[in-house]
Each structure stands twice: as C-alpha cells, then as structure tokens.
Amino acid sequence: MRVLGSFLKDKSGNFGILTAVLLVPIVGAAGMAVDYGHALSVRSDLMDVADSAALGAISEGSAGYKAYQAMTEDGEVTIAENDGKAFFLAQRSSSTTSAELSDMPIDVDLKVARLNGQVTSTATFTAQIPTTFMRVLGQDSIKVSGAATAVYGAQSKSYTNFYMLLDNTPSMGIAATQTEMDRLSAITGANGGRACALACHIGYYGSNGKFNENPDSTYIAARNNDVTLRIDVVSKAAEALIDKVNTASASADQYHIAAYSFGSYALEPGYRIEKVTSLTVDMASASKAVGNVGLMTTDHDHFNDNALTSFDTALTAIGKEISGDGGTGSSAADPQKIVYFVTDGVGDSLKPGGTCGGNWYDGEGRCLEPIDTKYCTALKNRGIKMAVLYTTYIPLTGDDIWENHMKNIFASKIKTKLQQCASDDLFFEVGPEDDMENAMTHLFVKAASGGNALRLTN
C-alpha cells in the first residue's frame, strides 16, 4: 500500500504526459496558420490567372472579340467563353504562376455576354488546396474560390457631345428587309405597273408651305400598305438609342446630342444638311425629333438629275456646326466630340468640271462615288471622332445605274471607304435583316467608351 501511495504522490512525470496530450492541438493551431497562409497565396495566384482569362477572352484580336464585334443582337458569346477557359487552364501552368497550380484540380467557369452593346466577361474558379499540418486535425484540404470580371464598353463617366448625321436621301427609301422588298415590288408591279422595291417620295410644297403628295408615287404605295422602309428603321432606331442614352447617363450633363439630316426636301441646285435638333441634354425632345426624320422629298423624277446625295457638302457642313476641337471627355468643359454618321455609303451629286472618285453618269456632270475620306480626315485632324454605321447598300434588281456605273467600277470600295472614314474601331455594318437598334447601341457604346474600353471591374 505504501508503494502505491508513493506512486500516486509522485508528480515528476506529469509534465511530459501533459505535453504529449497538448502537442496535437498546439501543432494543429500552428499548422493552421501555415496552411491558411499557403491557401491564400495560391488563391492570389489563381486570381491573377482569372484576371488574365477574363481580359483575354474579350481582348482586341481574340476570337471572342471578333465574334462580339460582329454581333448585331445581345446574347452569349460562346467562342469567347471556350477561349477564356482554355486560356485560364493554360495560364495556370505557365512559369509565371506557382508550379503547384499546374497539377491541381480546379473547377473553372467563364461566361461572356453582350448586353446593350457592353460585353462582360466573368471567370470563376474553385480549388481544394492540400494541407500539411492540419491533417493531424483531420482536414486534408482548404477550399478557395474567386471571380474576376472584365468589361468592354462605356466607362462610367465620359463627357461626350454626339452629332448625329442621318442619311435620309432617296436611296434610303428602299424597303427595309428582303420580305418588304418583295412585298413592295409586288404592290408596285400589280396591274401592269413597274415593279420597284424603292419608295420615291415625290411631291411639291405649295405657297402655303404645305407639301402636296404625288398620289401615284411608290412612297404612297408603301405607306398605304404599311411597308417598312430603311429610313423608318433608321429614325426609329435613333429615337430608341437616345432614350437609352438618357437612362445610361451617369449625370444630366454627361451626354449632349445634336442631330442633322441631309434635308427634308431636295434642292435644285445645291446641297445642305438640315438641323433636326440643336446640341442638347434634353434627350426626350431629341428622341422625338430624330424619330420624325423622314425620307427626303423631290418635286418630280429626275429633279436635280436625281443627284441628291453630297457627302462632301454634308461632312463639311457638320464640321462647321461643331465649335472647337474634340476634347478628352474628362469633364463637361472638355467633352469628346463625335460625329455619328448613318449612311448607305454611295454619293450621288453634280460636280460639273470637278473630279469624281467613282464614275461619271453618261458625262452629265453627275458623279456616283464612295465617300471621299479627305472630308473625314479633316474632322479627325481636329480631334473629332468619326463613328460610322453602314447600312449595307442594296442595289435594285435590274438597275441600270448599278449594273453599268457602279457594280464593276467602285462597288467594292463602298464599305472600305467608310471603314477608312471611321475612327479606329468605330465602324459597324448593319444589313437589311439585322437589328438596327442593337447595332446603333453597340456603336454608341464603343464610341463613348474612349480608348480604355477594356478594363477589370473587380
């Protein structure tokens, strides 16, 4: 009994036992800090990769960039998503990141979508980081996740003055879509008439200022049968665009808009632009004004030899309407200045004794030509951007002017000259079956965004 009592009273070994008991939580606690620190380091590396993938999926020159630049409607950009995910997986194995990442199982997702002309790319990831010390506590890994978002589109604050120049000359009287072209041709060709898909707005203004319509014009035939014309689509899309600008503005003075047409009626002789609305922040009135832009009228067929479109005059005149040079957009006192030009790209004007960049029509001094880029250059040299929305020129079936004076002479230059007219990356083409409103919004976002359109948002 004395031996047992002595053993119970002996405390010399308790410290060793206590240390052994406490060693597991002590090592676990210390190891927890090391493991979590390591996991945060790996997550930081993965965030760098995610940033690169989000940017790379929609960066200039990428397949995704080309895809969304060609889109005329909002939606998902699948090719950009696939490329972005592949970029993520390739980048994590590069020498710039932790060697550990190359073999680590990682769940990666990348979504790219365009909405109202702005493209958003989001890369997300989830990974299980193996632990070392925390395994003694039964935890083999630490879950980390993250997301990176890149945006291509308008910056939150860029002061911009837009000068809309809407081509409403007779060629914009073509029916808006192939279906409408076929319908108008059938209407005008009925009862032995000449089938034509172009609405000619013919009539004259009386001494009382009232316009007297020619009831036999193809324009009246189109209106009586609710045929949609290209000019209708342009004016309504411009109206909707300005409504969107109003809701997108970060402040009341961020955007100013002025609008011009080539004139509500043709002149003989001469050319002009006609102010639709002065530079204003009143988007409601500007929207209503552009929505009322109609097809140019002529007194009769062959009025001014049917040469009614002078880009030379229009671009010179719009330059005179813009006071001063273009600014940086950093403040209301130094706004960007942008000419937003919507046209089908074919000039048709009288230039007797002058030069013609396309083809003379039967030696009459009537010049058919693509746009002369020197007038665009004159504006760009003032720091004024040129945003060009090309409404694809559609020739009429059997049209002698197209077949003999345009098709094999300069037709291939119509689009390329407009591209050269536009400032960098501010050209967009919209065909008869495309969504004009989305196309206009897309070009507006690109124009307003300035040079730093692609950026990370988080």
pLDDT in tens, 42-69: 888 888 888 888 988 888 778 888 888 7
Q: Kindly report the pTM of this predicted structure.
A: 0.71
In this structure, the answer to whether residues 110 and 190 fall within a common structural domain is: no
Cα three-residue angle 83-88-91, rounded to 5 degrees = 115
Q: pLDDT grade, residue 26 (50/70/90)?
A: low
Total domains, the chain = 2
Q: Mean pLDDT over residues 106-125, rounded?
A: 88
**Final residue in a domain of this structure, among 127, 152, 177:** 152
Residue 215's domain spans which residues?
A: 160-453
- Assess whether 252 and 118 both reside in one domain: no
Query: Chain-wide mean pLDDT for the chain?
Result: 87
Q: 16 pLDDT band (50/70/90 cuts)? A: low
Per mean pLDDT, which of 15-19, 332-336, 380-384 is the most reliable? 380-384
pLDDT of residue 5: 54
Among candidate residues 101, 128, 152, the one where a domain is terminated: 152
Please check whether residue 165 lies inside any domain of the structure.
yes
| 125: enclosing H helix or E strand | strand 118-130
Residue 293 burial (CB < 10 Å; 0-12/13-18/19+)? buried
- Burial label, 89 (beta-carbon count in 10 A; 0-12, 13-18, 19+): middle
Task: Tell me, yes or no, whether 170 and 310 share the same domain.
Answer: yes
Confidence tier at 17 by pLDDT (50, 70, 90): low
105 and 244 assigned to the same domain: no
| Residue 384 covered by a domain | yes
Same domain as 167, residue 134: no
Q: What is the pLDDT of residue 368?
A: 97
Are 191 and 74 within one domain? Answer: no
Domain endpoint, select from 133, 152, 171: 152
Q: What average pLDDT score do residues 437-446 get?
A: 84
- pLDDT band at residue 227 using 50, 70 and 90 as cut-offs: very high
**pLDDT reading at 121 higher than 50:** yes
- Residue holding tokens 């990370």? 456
Angle between helices 230-248 and 283-291 (to 10 degrees): 170
CA angle 286, 269, 355 (to 5 degrees): 100
Whether 202 and 73 share a structural domain: no
Chain-centre distance for alpha carbon 212: 40
Are 148 and 171 contained in the same domain? no
| Dihedral sign for Cα atoms in the order 176, 181, 182, 188 | positive
The token pair that represents 342 in the structure block: 């919507």
**Residue 360 belongs to domain with CATH number:** 3.40.50.410
Query: Are 369 and 236 in a shared domain?
Result: yes
Would residue 2 count as lying in a domain? no
Question: Which tops the pLDDT comparison, 250 or 75?
Answer: 75
